[in-house]
Amino acid sequence: MAQRVAVSEVGGGRASKRTSRVRVAVRLRPYMEEQDEKGEGPCVRGLGPQSLEITNWRNATETLQYQFDVFHGEQSTQQEVFLSSVKPILPHLLNGQNASVFAYGPTGAGKTHTMLGSPEQPGVIPRAVREVFHLVREQEREKGDWEYSIGMSYLEIYNEKVLDLLSPGSQDLPIREDKERNILIPGLTYVPLSSFSHFHTHFIPASLNRTTASTKLNQRSSRSHAILLIKVVKSQRGPPHRQLTGKLYLVDLAGSEDNRRTGNQGLRLKESGAINLSLFTLSKVVDCLNAGAGRVPYRDSKLTRLLQDSLGGSAHSVMITNIAPEYKYYFDTFTALNFAAKSKLIVNRPFVRETVSSSAPVKRPSDEQASAAAGEPQ
């Protein structure tokens, strides 16, 4: 039996009652031969519905095993990911509560596949919007005393600027907070939606407005955070004419890769700094929420400021961390897993002995970063 040589664990148990934890799912995309020029095979594999293991490059006789709220293996379908990680939070929108789903991970690991998908394999976004329409129609049939309206906005955060994807060419938009602590973006286009197909005709062309540029890692790497907002407004037909609004943010984050390795310079390096600020702040916010500790640093970046009323608090949030199994992603996978993990174990069992050699990667992720992200006890 595998001998445990090191253990660290935190759970959601310490989270305060007022603050919802962020559920963390990890999705491993299938192994792709063309992403593995050296023919080394995969370095990550699933162990069960909540866990996976990855080669420990520091010690070839060990694997690192990680546990999450949910693990979606390489065989998992778009439908399974939606059913287990996203569908359960959607009914809250009809009660005036907020929710957010975001895809995190390095470029090429499957964020856009998970969120947007393709016509043959639609992802979380089309499935969630379809389901919201379904839930609203069902409520309208069952209880006639409330009426509902659904609408969308679509924006991106690029270089710490908030840009309206439904109004291309618009300037950086301000983020404001009202007296009820709702986050607002004055001037952002809002499109009322009459049906799912109506959503489709607005969303698909707008998604092509996204700023993309090539990097060494991926030809169409996404350098910005793409944020789709779906609002459900529920109004009482009779007195006292109460109104409740539920907001759902569906976010395809910029790549989490270490930009020092992707050959970015000049403007690209400036973008990298902005991306890193938002993602670094997001990781701090998620850590704070899940530890139930201290001041949550929402104001430290545009992304977290925007998500402030829909991440933590009474909101329902899910982070889907996308990872790739090939060795060339090893360090970015390792960093992403340490961010996502509830617990980490080092087990003295080699992953695939013959593929771990002295020519293994030489760059060492900082211990501080790894242990902080793994949530080791203070």
Which residues in the 31-50 window bind Mg ion by CB under 5 A?
Answer: none
113 binds, among ligand ADP, Mg ion, none (CB under 5 to 8 A by kind): ligand ADP
| The residue type at 274 | A
126 binds, among ligand ADP, Mg ion, none (CB under 5 to 8 A by kind): none
Tell me how far apart the alpha carbons of residues 231 and 214 are, in angstroms, rounded to a whole number.
33
Output the smallest distance, CB 8 to ligand ADP, in A. Answer: 28
Output the smallest distance, CB 39 to ligand ADP, in A. Answer: 19
3-state SS assignment for residue 302: helix
Which residues lie closer than 8 Å to 162 by C-beta, 6 or more apart? Answer: 155, 156, 172, 173, 174, 175, 185, 302, 306
Given a contact cutoff of 8 angstroms between Cβ atoms, the answer to whether 73 and 55 are in contact is no
Site string for Mg ion, 103-122 (x = CB under 5 A): --------xx----------
Helix, strand, coil percent values for the chain (each to nearest 5): 35, 25, 40
Is the CB of 50 or the CB of 211 nearer to Mg ion? 211
Output the smallest distance, CB 235 to ligand ADP, in A. Answer: 37
Output the smallest distance, CB 121 to ligand ADP, in A. Answer: 7
Which residues lie closer than 8 Å to 218 by C-beta, 6 or more apart? Answer: 107, 108, 255
Footprint on this chain of ligand ADP (rule: CB under 6 A):
29-30, 105, 107-113, 218, 322
Output the smallest distance, CB 154 to ligand ADP, in A. Answer: 17
212 binds, among Mg ion, ligand ADP, none (CB under 5 to 8 A by kind): none
Output the smallest distance, CB 116 to Mg ion, in A. Answer: 8
Output the smallest distance, CB 19 to Mg ion, in A. Answer: 30
Tokens of 236: 């009482």
Tokens 């995190």 belong to which residue?
104
Tell me how far apart the alpha carbons of residues 16 and 302 are, in angstroms, rounded to a whole number.
25
Task: Report how far apart, in Å, the C-alpha atoms of 57 and of each of 292, 303, 345, 375 are.
Answer: 33, 33, 14, 21
Is the CB of 136 or the CB of 274 nearer to ligand ADP? 274
247 binds, among ligand ADP, Mg ion, none (CB under 5 to 8 A by kind): none
Which residues lie closer than 8 Å to 164 by C-beta, 6 or more apart? Answer: 153, 154, 155, 170, 173, 187, 188, 189
Is the CB of 9 or the CB of 80 nearer to ligand ADP? 80
325 binds, among Mg ion, ligand ADP, none (CB under 5 to 8 A by kind): none
110 binds, among Mg ion, ligand ADP, none (CB under 5 to 8 A by kind): ligand ADP
Is the CB of 106 or the CB of 375 nearer to ligand ADP? 106
If DSSP states are collapsed to H, E and C, what string results for 69-118?
Answer: CEEECCCCCHHHHHHHHHHHHHHHHHHCCCEEEEEECCCCCCHHHHHCEC
Q: Which residue is nearest to Mg ion (CB)?
A: 112
Output the smallest distance, CB 292 to ligand ADP, in A. Answer: 30
DSSP, residue by residue, 114-172: HHTB-SSSB-HHHHHHHHHHHHHHHHHHH-TTEEEEEEEEEEEEETTEEEETTSTTPPP
365 binds, among Mg ion, ligand ADP, none (CB under 5 to 8 A by kind): none
Tell me how far apart the alpha carbons of residues 290 and 297 are, in angstroms, rounded to a whole number.
13
Q: Which residue is nearest to ligand ADP (CB)?
A: 110
Is the CB of 98 or the CB of 259 nearer to Mg ion? 259
Q: If binding means CB under 5 A, how many residues of this protein chain bind Mg ion?
A: 3
Given a contact cutoff of 8 angstroms between Cβ atoms, the answer to whether 103 and 114 are in contact is yes
224 binds, among ligand ADP, Mg ion, none (CB under 5 to 8 A by kind): none
Which residues lie closer than 8 Å to 241 by C-beta, 6 or more apart? Answer: 235
Tokens of 216: 């060494």
375 binds, among Mg ion, ligand ADP, none (CB under 5 to 8 A by kind): none
Output the smallest distance, CB 336 to ligand ADP, in A. Answer: 11
Is the CB of 63 or the CB of 256 nearer to ligand ADP? 256
Assess 67 for contact with Mg ion (CB under 5 A). no
One residue of 20, 78, 189, 222 binding Mg ion per CB under 5 A? 222
* Interface residue list for Mg ion (CB under 5 A): 111-112, 222
